Amino acid sequence: QWTAVAAFLYGEVAVLLVLCLPFISPLRWQKIFMIPLWSKMAVFWNKMFLTIIVLLIILFLDAVREVRKYSAIQLNEKVANVNTNAIDHIQMKLFRSQRNLYISGFSLFLWLVLRRTVTLLTQLAKSMASHAALETQVNDATEAAKKYLSENERLQEALNEKGSSENKAAAEATSEKLRKEIEELKAELKKTSNALYKANNEVTAVQKQSRGLKREYDRLMKEYERLQ
């Protein structure tokens, strides 16, 4: 089982390295996660995640028990002054139990990091999509405001050319209506700009959290290499 756990650990490292590649954007990962195969696996994702967590915790506790067991036996054997072969055998057992402890512990930790990384990528992709939609909405609102302003200017020019009082009254009513529409568009533009600013802040926060997680992951990988 420890060979399987070690293979699982290296698989986790490979997946995390792929997820941290800088030239693959979160939006691309979201498209990959939307593949029908992943959608079918998502139904069993929580159950599989909890099952693997339980198994890794059990293996981790078993490794802790083995380390404590052989540490106590090694101490007793040294006190009893038994032969060298027995001490070497106990030290070999202790080394293996410590290695299994490191493997199971890092596998458990990287499994949690992997789930968190996927969640952050999904959130970042949604924030980026929302940011793009808000930018499009702001651009559309700006174009509409410019259009209404140009129509208002043309109406004012036509009003200056025509001296009829009826035309002036109708033009004033139309101008008033256009002014109201412009004010509504300005209010909508301000609201959309606030939403865009909020979305930018959320994207920035998620990016900072992702960079912090990557730095923590690099630090832990260096610690893992040092322990090996």
| AA identity, residue 218 | D
Is 90 strand, coil or helix? helix
Residue 186 in contact with residue 68, Cβ under 8 Å? no
Tens digits of per-residue pLDDT, 109-139?
988 888 888 888 888 888 888 887 888 888 8
User: Which pLDDT belongs to residue 133?
Assistant: 81
Residues 110, 217: Cα–Cα separation, whole Å: 9
Output the six-digit token pair for 63: 């490794």
User: Which pLDDT belongs to residue 42?
Assistant: 66
Residue 127 in contact with residue 119, Cβ under 8 Å? no
User: Which pLDDT belongs to residue 165?
Assistant: 55
User: Which pLDDT belongs to residue 200?
Assistant: 77
Tens digits of per-residue pLDDT, 32-74?
777 676 666 666 777 888 888 888 889 899 889 888 888 877 6
Tens digits of per-residue pLDDT, 176-216?
888 888 888 888 888 887 877 887 777 777 778 777 777 77
State how far the alpha carbon of 203 is from the alpha carbons of 76, 131, 200, 211, in Å. Answer: 58, 8, 5, 12
With cut-offs at 50, 70 and 90, classify the pLDDT of residue 81. Answer: low
Helices then strands, each counted (H, E), the chain = 6, 0
Output the six-digit token pair for 186: 């300005």
State the pTM of this model.
Answer: 0.53
Residues found in the chain: 228
User: Which pLDDT belongs to residue 163?
Assistant: 55
Q: ∠ CA 81-63-88 to the nearest 5 degrees?
A: 25
Residues 160, 171: Cα–Cα separation, whole Å: 10
Please check the confidence at residue 76 and state whether its pLDDT lies above 70.
no
| AA identity, residue 101 | L
